[in-house]
Amino acid sequence: MRFNKVIKGITLVVGIAAINLSATSLLQAAEMASWNAGGGEKDDVMKLKPDLENGLEVFEVCAACHYPEGWGTKEGTFPQLAGQHRTVLIKQLADIRAKNRDNPTMYPFALPEAIGDAQALADVTAYIATLPMNPDNGVGDGKDLALGERLYKDNCVECHGDKGEGKADKFYPRIQAQHYNYMLRQFEWIRDKKRRNANPEMVKQIAGFSDKDMKAVIDYVSRIKPPKKDLAESKDWLNPDFD
């Protein structure tokens, strides 16, 4: 049953993966993109009452890449979703659907043709919020942790908190225990202005980071552990909904 559900999700994605995104529509999306503008699907989703049962059904599509536990991949190809603030998940999914965030891999998964309307986003993000986090996420080489800690305290605490816990009400993501390679890739894209839906204040804050700085601070963050109550009991935990 567990892998049948994942395979079903893959089959659905493959079936719609041929959707073509025209250059014109992408250009229009780029012109309209902003970090957290009011209105649009994000605001609609925030007003809806979620249905966890349907959220599980929608999550079967997500599990094709993020796995049933929502932990993504330790080497960082896919991020950990479990434990992320629901507001952040809603914003990022809405941005991807509106093509305000460039993520061609996610387009077939996230579009209404694959998972449904705003109610589906409300449902699946609520379900993901119930999943415990991976206690064994991917980390860096550990060579510059002192530098990483200093950089984090000087540049990141105001938005992401002392422990990388983020701020749900401001759509600032939880970054503690996220996979190192995933965060490193996103940080580099934000620093180099390649992620269009990045918070412009963060773009300015990290503009002067060298590659060494970037690797050090992300390595430090990846090693910050969430509260025990938010973690799975072990790295071998399996989502019982997929048994």
Shared domain for 155 and 121, answered yes or no, is: no
SS (H, E, C) 124-150: HHHHHCCCCECCCCCCCCCCCHHHHHH
Burial of 154-167, coded b for 16+ CB within 10 Å and e otherwise, reads ebbeebbbebbbbb
CB-CB contact of 102 with 195 (8 Å): yes
pLDDT of residue 26: 40
Shared domain for 204 and 88, answered yes or no, is: no
User: Does 214 score more than 90 pLDDT?
Assistant: yes
| Domain finish residue from 103, 131, 159 | 131
pLDDT of residue 31: 40
Q: What CA–CA distance (Å, rounded) separates 155 from 161?
A: 11
Shared domain for 102 and 172, answered yes or no, is: no
Shared domain for 219 and 120, answered yes or no, is: no
Shared domain for 122 and 151, answered yes or no, is: no
Shared domain for 12 and 118, answered yes or no, is: yes
Percent of the chain with pLDDT over 70: 85
Mean pLDDT of the chain: 88
What is the domain count for the chain?
Answer: 2
User: pLDDT for 52-103, tens place per residue?
Assistant: 999 999 999 999 999 999 999 999 999 999 999 999 999 999 999 998 998 9
To the nearest 10°, report the CA torsion of 164, 30, 111, 76: -40
pLDDT of residue 118: 97
User: pLDDT for 22-47, tens place per residue?
Assistant: 333 444 444 444 567 677 899 999 99
| Domain finish residue from 131, 158, 182 | 131
pLDDT of residue 2: 54
CATH at residue 74: 1.10.760.10
> Of 42, 78, 84, nearest to 177 (Cα)?
84
Shared domain for 10 and 79, answered yes or no, is: yes
Shared domain for 118 and 168, answered yes or no, is: no
Shared domain for 91 and 174, answered yes or no, is: no
Shared domain for 92 and 163, answered yes or no, is: no
pLDDT of residue 243: 87
Shared domain for 125 and 160, answered yes or no, is: no
Shared domain for 93 and 39, answered yes or no, is: yes
Query: Residue 163 is part of which domain span?
Result: 145-230
